[in-house]
Amino acid sequence: MWRAVGERGSKGNIAKLERVHAGPAPAFSKELDAWLVLAEDGRRLRLAADAAGKQLWPTQAEAAHTRAEAAHTRAEAAHTRAEAAHTRAEAAHTRAEAERARANAAAAEVERLRKLLADRG
């Protein structure tokens, strides 16, 4: 692994390269504060938080996938909350209809009893 050192030239060219690592072992990058490790059977160079490469930094695709999964989970949770609210509203409506039916039955009974008293009186 090489690192550019010194000033860049007038055309932006690197003035000098310095070897900072050689070999298959992981290398730590001070600039990135991360480990450079081989992944996928040595086919890819990845950044990791640890030298063993167990805590890989996500690629852009992995990060996008994680965000999409999180958005899907939030949407499912919102749907579940909406269904629960709908169920509660239906239950409240059913209770209100039952209460209205009881009130109508009570009013009808009162009216029946008034007529009965009026007929006796």
pLDDT single digits (tens) 87-113: 999 999 999 999 999 999 999 999 999
Separation between Cα atoms, residue 2 and residue 32, nearest integer Å:
14
Separation between Cα atoms, residue 29 and residue 32, nearest integer Å:
5
Q: What kind and span of H or E run contains 67?
A: helix 60-120
54 Cβ contact partners less than 8 Å away, ≥ 6 residues apart? 48
Q: What is the pLDDT of residue 6?
A: 72
Q: What is the pLDDT of residue 3?
A: 72
pTM exceeds 0.75: no
The answer to whether the Cα torsion of 46, 51, 53, 56 is positive or negative is negative
The letter for the amino acid at 66 is T
Residues of the chain with pLDDT under 70: 8-10, 12, 14-15
Strand partners, 18: 3
Integer CA distances (angstroms), 84 to 41, 96, 103, in order: 48, 18, 28
